[in-house]
Structure 1
């Protein structure tokens, strides 16, 4: 029988940092794909930037719903690793890669066929909808590579390797930004493609990143003698295990979708409809950037929690959880103060439109106030995912959505200003998640040990 992995404050702080710092750089690099697109497209015009906001919301929803490919795989692989079963861990990872393909191909085909209706559902005018359709139809070709990146990254995180995804994410973003500039504005013999060029550049960068991550995982599997052939039973098991996390993610994405819908509804009475929509898109993209940064500790929490529970040490799991929550609080305070300090100047990075920049500042100040709560929420979310507590996360997500959606929609239909919609977002959505997660973590039902 394997010896339990005992918690040691100094050693485990170092381990949290070893996993979290590369995960931070990788996670920050992910939203930089959209930040890069926003920075380039913002110089095409405000309608194009607003169109990107709608297209990005649809694309992030489709891909974000499948984040269980990373999170579920991280937890499962880490448990097997803690139990000393590296070959079985990589077998679960290969199943996850095949599941990504099985999901990605039909989602891509269906998404391209329904691009027009998906954009039209937001109710924006033709000036915003047309660039949204142009961008989304091409960007959907990157869905399968993105899902493969999620699955492969989950395997490596479960193996306690967050450095490789970091290197790939940084290289992919450098390629994405370069391709965006060339394909949007043109260079030499390459014609400028406008907003379509931005989508195409992102797809090419995503294809290259997925290829590198898959190569790393398959090489590790071969070293352990793990088969690369798709196993129907393993793929189905991975799919069933991911259902609760899919529901949990669906509730999160639905909350962001109804927020954007509420912003569009409130903007119909504005003198310039695209201004609040564009400002919301920039604020949501920056929020995502900071959310992924805070999620770095959650990634470490998934990997460490799974490994400790796999090794059978529930006491150490609870102790290291408290340690990571403190990390989350400190990180949330730091990102909140940083965001508040730079809020007057951030808009200048993305758009020359003074009205959009002015509308963005108060929204960012509201978002800054919510950062310490977000730090706790993301860490505990990672802990419970690492513990395999998906069913609770699914039910908690449904409860929060049921309380949040009606209020934010009513606020939008009442024509509330954009900062007030973000106040509702921070108080009800993030506050609701804080309550449900802290209550669960205080109990013992999630502390299930074994592989």
Structure 2
């Protein structure tokens, strides 16, 4: 007689993997694509406004991405429940993650409003850039709880292998933002010209639409909405390692922005443009990592360690080929893409300095992000925490601060990112090859 778990979790076909990855790609790429659009709209105001958006956007992004456990941790836990046949338990993970998202998000709003001025001054070095960044940040931070609710919603829906509904929800919100942004920034159609503040207002309105859709999906699911402190506590335990991992990223990218700001408005604006393109590429590659996380978690939840190992090999190969194709496309577009975001000659000159670093690290990222997804699906968060912290301390932070000391400019900053990615690749390849992550069971805590 066939194993019931095997019937629930047959070997995923290529069509099934693509069916999970493509909508996930849409979700992951939609936000950075909108941010690039936002940059293009604000960029027409000049380098100062663009630099203010760069600093303010970085602060808000780093505050929210520190809490990626609300998406990735929820996916890991929900996918194990889904793989074991506990569908209600999988959705209830989303309920508890949403409660956490609202509570943490409100705390972020209060903290940022209190600390916005000194934080912006530290990163921007004071002056006009800090003033521009502050007005954007004080408005945009009201979207923090909404961003976190969307993270939790993406997490549980991915865990039950539904990546299409999150795509619809995210696109609905971004469509609203995309319409409002140019209207409010430039005062089109008789609207007031709010300039940089208009960008922040448009963001918050769109985020409210997306968050409402995710909450409505939970209300329609029919599961209990009762808060469960034990489940929330378990989510936070898993999130602890992911938060520390995110802090390593924060330290690196905040340091990079702070150093870039010391090189002037053109340098920080160029850094922001290429960094957003990098985020677009990273999140695009992460679509296969989402499929890996979802399918690996379900396979281990059902007791299929061999299937999980096969998925790791298969999806890493696909991701690497995809990354090579992206690298070729951006290499060919090096004279065409940057002018889409700014006409400022000084900013374009700085972009040219870092463009080939950006292209060179894409194939490395193809391996790193796929195997990150595999290990996250397995709940191997403690290893990812240690690896990321070590690679950041050794490979990324030293070149950033040496760039300031020796005036290496953006080339020094992006050299650090390159070394960081290579070290992470070596770490995750070693870990995956060891097989120590393939611990089976419905409860993710059993795999730690």
For the aligned pair, the TM-score class normalised by the smaller chain equals over 0.9
Shift of 1:18: 0.8
After TM superposition, list the pairs within 5 Å mapping 1:306-385 onto structure 2. 306-385=297-376
Q: Which of 400, 403, 407 pairs up with 2:399?
A: 407
Contact 2:78 2:90 (C-alpha < 8 Å) held by counterparts: yes
Q: How many residues align?
A: 438
Which residue number corresponds to residue 115 of structure 2?
114
Task: Say if 2:54 and 2:269, in contact at 8 Å, map to a contact too.
Answer: yes
Query: 1:93: Cα distance to partner?
Result: 1.3
Give, in whole Å, the separation in 2 of the partners of 1:218 and 1:211. 11
Q: 1:33 Cα shift?
A: 3.2
8 Å Cα contact 2:183/2:189 also seen in 1? no
Q: Give SS of 1:114's match.
A: helix
1:318 Cα deviation after fit:
0.3
The answer to whether residue 227 in structure 2 is matched with residue 230 in structure 1 is yes
Residue of structure 2 equivalent to 1:290: 281
Residues in 2 aligned to 1:277 and 1:138: alpha-carbon distance in whole angstroms: 22
Moved over 4 A (4+): 5-8
Give the deviation of 1:182 after TM superposition: 1.0
Distance in 2 (CA, whole Å) between partners of 1:124 and 1:174 is 34
SS at match of 1:312: coil
Separation of aligned partners in 2, 1:55 and 1:413: 25
Q: Is the CA contact 2:400–2:412 (under 8 Å) kept in the aligned structure 1?
A: no
CA drift at 1:435:
1.3
Give the match for residue 264 of structure 1: 261
Distance 1:2 1:444 in 2: 25
Report the alpha carbon displacement of residue 416 of structure 1 after superposing the two structures with TM: 0.4
Contact 2:5 2:84 in 1 (8 A): no
Q: 1:7 to 1:227 in 2, by over 3 A?
A: closer
Equivalent of residue 420 in structure 1, options 390, 412, 425:
412
Q: SS where residue 5 of structure 2 aligns?
A: coil
* Backbone CA RMSD of aligned residues: 1.5
Partners in 1 of 2:162 and 2:392 — Cα distance?
A: 34
Q: CA deviation at 1:420?
A: 3.5
Match of 2:29 in 1: 28
* 2:421 maps to which of 422, 427, 430: 430
1:252 to 249, 253, 259: 249
Cα distance in structure 2, aligned partners of 1:252 and 1:354? 30
For residue 7 of structure 1, report the CA deviation from its aligned partner.
Answer: 6.4
Equivalent residue runs for 1:77-116 within 5 Å? 77-116=78-117
Structure 1 residue 406, shift from structure 2 partner? 2.1
**How many Å apart are 1:170 and its aligned residue?**
2.1
SS of 2:123 mapped into structure 1:
coil
Shift of 1:233: 2.2
Q: 2:55, 2:124 within 8 Å by CA — same for their partners in 1?
A: no
Instruction: Please name the residue that 1:43 is paired with.
Output: 44
**Which string of whole-angstrom CA distances, capped at 9 and with x for unpartnered residues, describes residues 111-133 of structure 1?**
11111111111143412111100
The corresponding residue for 1:279 is 270
Q: State whether residues 7 and 319 of structure 1, in contact with CA within 8 Å, keep that contact through their aligned partners in structure 2.
A: no
Tell me which residue corresponds to 1:270: none
Instruction: Flag structure 2 segments of 5+ consecutive residues without an equivalent.
Output: 443-448
Aligned to 1:145: 146
- Partners of 1:80 and 1:234 in 2: how far apart? 13
CA distance, structure 2, for counterparts of residue 444 and residue 187 of structure 1: 57
Give the deviation of 1:160 after TM superposition: 0.4
TM-score when normalising by structure 1? 0.94
**Per-residue Cα deviation, 1:111-158 (whole angstroms, up to 9, x for no partner):** 111111111111434121111001111000000000000000111100
